[in-house]
Amino acid sequence: MSIQMLNDRYQVIRTLGAGGFGETYLAEDSYMPSKRLCVVKQLRPIQNNPQIYQLVQERFQREAAILEELGGTTDQIPALYAYFSANDQFYLVQEWIEGDTLTAKLQQQGLLTESAIQELLINLLPVLEYVHSQHIVHRDIKPDNIILRHRDGKPVLIDFGAVRESMGTVVNSQGNPTSSIVIGTPGYMPSEQAAGRPVYSSDLYSLGLTAIYLLTGRQPQQLEIDSQTGEMIWRQYASHISSILASVLDRAIAYHPRDRYSTARVMLDSLQSINTPVAPTQPYFAPPQPTVPVAPQVSVSGNNQKGILLGSVIAGGLIGASVIAGLVFTRPSQPVAEQNITSPVKSITVTPVVTPNSVVSQSPVTTPPIVQPPIQKINPPTSPSITSTPIDVNTTDNNYFWLSQRAVTDADLNGKNGYALDIMRNSIFARHGRRFDTQGLQNYFNNQPWYNPRYSPKDFPVRLLTRVEQRNVDYIAAYQKRYNLRHFK
């Protein structure tokens, strides 16, 4: 191909791909001082018909506007720079993502680990959730259409089939627009999509098969199908992964849409429950709650029933009084900010002494529930004198993956002690493989199953942090400084 200038602006460097819908080029934007690289996609209608051309042009403009909105909201979808038409051809100009496709990654490094698959899905599902919220089905999710960006390792979703579908629109015999082609890739495309009726869970199906390919090295066409259920048989090729993750993927690739996850959010919540039982939007460090031992529920009847019942009531009252006194005169283990808490204490069953003259009955004797009085509002601490019990470093339930997805707020931080905040802030670095000079931090993250240390503290590349992650690190640090809440010095 000869070097050419498109739209008197985009200098073509080389051809990236070609197909029935047109060609894709890598080009330089000659209007920008940086000569930034971009991807130019040439799209053309299948038929040379004036009616078709007008219809395609209208849909092309609408789809370009959708892509502009999608790319402007998340950095995991390439930004749309421009669109134009020339010589009866349509062109899209998009951001150039420097990285490797998942296909190339597999060829370079071999099969992905379970933790790598979990991280991949946790990073992609929020993107799909947003795309679906805009009433768009991608329709062509596969390893070749997901790029791991070099600068931060984040997966970027490319090549939206919605635009390509508009290029295949024709008018039927009744004069109504319809689609003459099926968008998708054989093997990664579910049956309803092959029939021209894709739904949101069609994308989850394709994403699930993508994960299975990365775990097994087998394309969907290489997997057997259960003749009775239509489900794919793949687990024997991935015996190294947990049954929980396998169940998540099985549900994602279920033959019928009704058996799959209804939304990307539901699949994300199920996936995060593997290592994070608490919902990602809630704080993972809960303050310890006072507990009252509850004895076995045994009650008596007989000659001494009335006396024992009276003794049980008195004993229950004494225990209840001691609980209230303990709550009143004991400083709370963590500050409670901007909230009133009225939590009833469970009713206490008292174990009476069973004498030879007593007859055991089946009806438990319990005292009425004791209601805890409201706790006075306490502002965030201003000195390190108020602390709470440190978290067990052997816990594996606190990975704070959501800190890479949304901005942290004071509501997420209120009530946490210095130890919890230090873990929370440093988990952002740990997720990218940083080691720590502080032994307490290193010990904690060494016990997290997702932790894969790769960088020393001095060699850690800060550029790995996304904008939201860097913002969250700074926000938590400022909060800790404001209230003097630091555990590790």
For residue 434, give the nearest of 401, 466, 459 by alpha carbon.
Answer: 459
d(CA 322, CA 318): 6
Helix axes 418-431, 439-446, angle to 10 degrees: 60
Residues 139 and 76 in one domain: no
The amino acid at residue 329 is F
**Assigned domain for 331 exists:** yes
Is 67 strand, coil or helix? helix
Per the annotation, the verdict on 140 as an active-site residue is yes
**Assigned domain for 279 exists:** no
**Assigned domain for 290 exists:** no
**Assigned domain for 387 exists:** no
Residue 177: the pLDDT is: 52
Ordered per-residue pLDDT tens for the chain, 489 residues: 456 899 999 999 999 888 666 789 999 999 999 999 999 988 776 566 777 677 777 777 777 888 888 887 889 999 999 999 888 788 999 999 999 999 999 999 999 999 999 999 999 999 999 999 988 899 999 999 999 999 999 999 998 754 444 444 444 445 555 544 456 788 899 999 988 899 999 999 999 999 999 999 999 999 999 888 889 999 999 988 999 999 999 999 999 999 999 999 999 999 987 754 433 332 322 333 333 344 444 444 444 444 444 444 444 454 444 444 444 344 333 333 333 333 333 333 444 444 444 333 344 444 444 444 444 444 444 333 333 334 444 444 456 888 988 888 888 899 899 999 999 999 999 989 999 999 889 999 898 888 889 889 888 887 788 878 888 898 898 889 888 898 987
Residues 355 and 453 in one domain: no
Residue 304: the pLDDT is: 46
35 is in an annotated binding site: no
**Assigned domain for 488 exists:** no
Residues 216 and 238 in one domain: yes
Provide the domain count of the chain.
4
Burial state string for 109-132 with b = 16 or more CB within 10 A and e = fewer than 16 = eeebebebbbbbbbbbbbbbbbbb
Transcribe 254-277 into DSSP letters. -SSGGGS-SSHHHHHHHHHTTT--
d(CA 104, CA 315): 71
Transcribe 398-458 into DSSP letters. ---GGGGTS---HHHHTT--HHHHHHHHHHHHHHTTB--SSHHHHHHHHT-TT----B-TT
Residue 46: the pLDDT is: 59
Residues 87 and 48 in one domain: yes
Residues 138 and 228 in one domain: yes
Residues 89 and 141 in one domain: no
Residues 116 and 231 in one domain: yes
Residues 112 and 72 in one domain: no
**Assigned domain for 31 exists:** yes
Sheet holding 155-157, edge to edge: 99-101, 146-149, 155-157
Cβ neighbours around 376 below 10 Å, total: 8
CATH number of the domain bearing residue 11: 3.30.200.20
User: For residue 347, what is the DSSP state?
Assistant: P
Q: 79 near 94, Cβ under 8 Å?
A: yes
Residue 163: the pLDDT is: 47
CATH number of the domain bearing residue 143: 1.10.510.10
Residues 318 and 361 in one domain: yes
**Assigned domain for 285 exists:** no
Helix (H) or strand (E) holding 118: helix 114-133
The amino acid at residue 428 is I
Residue 161: the pLDDT is: 57
Burial state string for 428-439 with b = 16 or more CB within 10 A and e = fewer than 16 = bbbbbebbbeee
Residues 76 and 116 in one domain: no
The boundaries of the domain holding residue 10 are 1-96
Residues 258 and 116 in one domain: yes
- The residue from 29, 75, 140, 250 that is catalytic is 140
Residues 334 and 473 in one domain: no
d(CA 398, CA 419): 13
**Assigned domain for 393 exists:** no
Q: Is the pTM of this model over 0.85?
A: no
How many residues are listed for the chain in this entry?
489
Is 295 strand, coil or helix? coil
Q: 166 near 63, Cβ under 8 Å?
A: yes
